A = this chain, B = another copy of it.
Amino acid sequence: MSHTYHYPRPGLTVDVVVFGLDEDDLKLLLVRGGETPQRRWSLPGGFVRIDESLEAAARRELVDETGVSDIFIEQLYTFGRVDRDSRERVVTVSYYGLVNLSEHTVTAAESKDAAWFAIDDMPTLAFDHNEIVEVATARLRGKVRYQPIGFELLPQKFTLTQLQRMYEKILERSLDKRNFRKKALATGLLIELDEVEQDVAHRAARLYRFDERTYRQLAAEGTYFEV
């Protein structure tokens, strides 16, 4: 690694693909700042400062541009095509994040030109952001099969039907109810609560919560979880 380097440096940014789930759809958080060419919608993100880590930059930009804070994020991929931004050379480190829309009300969103879009009804984004979203979607689909990250999309207390719907929306196929419940419970990662859902016009379903403690134990042993 040569340290005496005097050439111009590529710019370095972070961009965040935030997935949210509501009763209907898997959604994506986009912003429309004044700075993007053609005022296109784009992913929240911005330049990395000299004194902050990549993840810190991603969280900072996310709060600044959308008001969304304290969510699960994870690094996705780094995009560095020379012409990905027509104005100048910029390399971007992308992150993806998961939120449950019911508990995380994105209050600041509207006023700041941020909005949720259904994932299969998205505008053309600025730069290569559509490509980043595709990579993020593929990663989510792949990862959800062997790591229980999907819980980040649900409220703390959820029903097995909600859990199943979540998987069905991410994987884009329907799952057998009885088999799904057997497998989900067999992971040992669900804690059955003494509560049922409220205000439904039919038999109320039992509520469960994710067992983080057991998860961390199993994860440390390198165990896999599949659904």
User: Which residues of A approach B to under 8 Å, CB–CB?
Assistant: 1-3, 5, 7-13, 15, 33, 35-36, 42, 45-55, 75, 77-78, 80-82, 87, 89, 91, 93
Asked if B54 and A87 sit within 8 Å, CB to CB, the answer is: no
Bound complex: CA A81 to CA B52 (Å): 8
Asked if A54 and B78 sit within 8 Å, CB to CB, the answer is: yes
Asked if B3 and A87 sit within 8 Å, CB to CB, the answer is: yes
The 8 Å CB contact of A80, one of B1, B5, B53, B81, is: B53
Asked if A10 and B12 sit within 8 Å, CB to CB, the answer is: yes
Asked if B78 and A47 sit within 8 Å, CB to CB, the answer is: no
Chain B residues lying within 8 Å of A35, measured Cβ to Cβ, are: 1-3
Bound complex: CA A2 to CA B14 (Å): 11
Chain B residues lying within 8 Å of A54, measured Cβ to Cβ, are: 78, 80, 91
Chain B residues lying within 8 Å of A55, measured Cβ to Cβ, are: 80
Bound complex: CA A55 to CA B42 (Å): 25
Closest to A1 in B: B46
Asked if A45 and B1 sit within 8 Å, CB to CB, the answer is: yes
Bound complex: CA A85 to CA B95 (Å): 23
Bound complex: CA A96 to CA B75 (Å): 17
Asked if B8 and A50 sit within 8 Å, CB to CB, the answer is: yes
Bound complex: CA A54 to CA B93 (Å): 12
Closest to A90 in B: B1
Chain B residues lying within 8 Å of A1, measured Cβ to Cβ, are: 13, 15, 33, 35-36, 42, 45-47
Bound complex: CA A141 to CA B187 (Å): 23
Chain B residues lying within 8 Å of A7, measured Cβ to Cβ, are: 47, 49-50
Chain B residues lying within 8 Å of A49, measured Cβ to Cβ, are: 7
Chain B residues lying within 8 Å of A78, measured Cβ to Cβ, are: 54, 75, 78, 93
Do A11 and B5 form a contact, CB below 8 Å, given A78-B75, A91-B54? yes
Bound complex: CA A15 to CA B10 (Å): 16
Bound complex: CA A15 to CA B78 (Å): 13
Closest to A88 in B: B3
Bound complex: CA A223 to CA B80 (Å): 28
**Nearest Cβ on chain B to A38's Cβ, whole angstroms:** 14
Closest to A91 in B: B12
Bound complex: CA A80 to CA B95 (Å): 13
